[in-house]
Amino acid sequence: KNQVEQSPQSLIILEGKNCTLQCNYTVSPFSNLRWYKQDTGRGPVSLTIMTFSENTKSNGRYTATLDADTKQSSLHITASQLSDSASYICVVSASRDGNNRLAFGKGNQVVVIP
Amino acid sequence: EAGVTQFPSHSVIEKGQTVTLRCDPISGHDNLYWYRRVMGKEIKFLLHFVKESKQDESGMPNNRFLAERTGGTYSTLKVQPAELEDSGVYFCASSLDRERGNTIYFGEGSWLTVV
């Protein structure tokens, strides 16, 4: 079982609407949680990074939340645009033996339609 | 500023052949990582360099994979001999330091298909 689970696996939304993506993790010991956006055929691009003490962080129309107690995070996309169509990957970093090891979710595939 | 660059972007090779992937990290980034994503799976860690030293190579699948970072600049990942299950996207990433909250920048990936 993957240490980072994302839901829904995929969703289709109308342009201008909002959506929320979920990420649950079991990674321990927790160091930080990141959300990446990956366009088709491209590499992942960082959207947000949150450490244990942060529970909300925004990057433009993207707002990430973190509940370190329940080990859950969400990524909220406001007023979606066609360019938001991409895979959104939740990445959790565990600090172990002096190394920061990243655990990746499979991604939420978002398709925005006009 | 140039981002993380990878070469080749796509490669199709026959089973048993050798392929070498190259990664040029962002200038000044001591930390260089290799990751792999096979079809339908999540991205998985392969190894981590700090300058020219292998900090963590516990994600390397087997001894057919060899990574080097001579001089602490660019890195190569060689697969020899390639097997069908090696097909996937190989991502390289780099970061300035390992401190909590540092941004890790990814390249566009090298798409490998073994036939």
A41 dihedral zone (left: phi>0; alpha: psi -120 to 50; beta): left
The CA distance from A82 to A94, in Å, is: 34
Q: How far is B36 from chain A (nearest CA, A)?
A: 11
Nearest to B107 among A41, A43, A46 (CB): A43
Tally of CB atoms within 10 A around B76: 15
pLDDT of residue B1: 62
> pLDDT digit string (tens) for A54-66?
999 999 999 999 9
Region A74-98 average pLDDT: 91
Cβ distance B101 to A51 less than 8 Å, yes or no, reads yes
pLDDT digits (tens, 9 = 90+) for A14-47: 999 999 999 999 988 888 999 999 999 899 999 9
Nearest Cα of chain B lies from the Cα of A5 at a distance, in angstroms, of: 10
Looking at residue B26, its pLDDT comes to 95
Nearest chain B residue (CA) to A101: B45
Q: Report d(CA B106, CA B35) in Å as an integer.
A: 10
Which H, E and C letters describe A14-75, residue by residue?
ECCCCEEEEEEECCCCEEEEEEEEECCCCCCEEEEEEECCCCEEEECCEEEEEECCCCEEEE
Burial of A22 (0-12, 13-18, 19+ CB in 10 A): middle
Q: pLDDT of B30-84, one tens digit each?
A: 999 999 999 889 999 999 999 999 999 999 999 999 999 988 899 999 999 999 9
Sheet holding B5-7, edge to edge: B5-7, B19-24, B75-79, B65-68
Looking at beta carbons, which residues of chain A come within 8 Å of B91? 43-44
- Neighbouring residues of B62: CB distance < 8 A, sequence distance ≥ 6: none
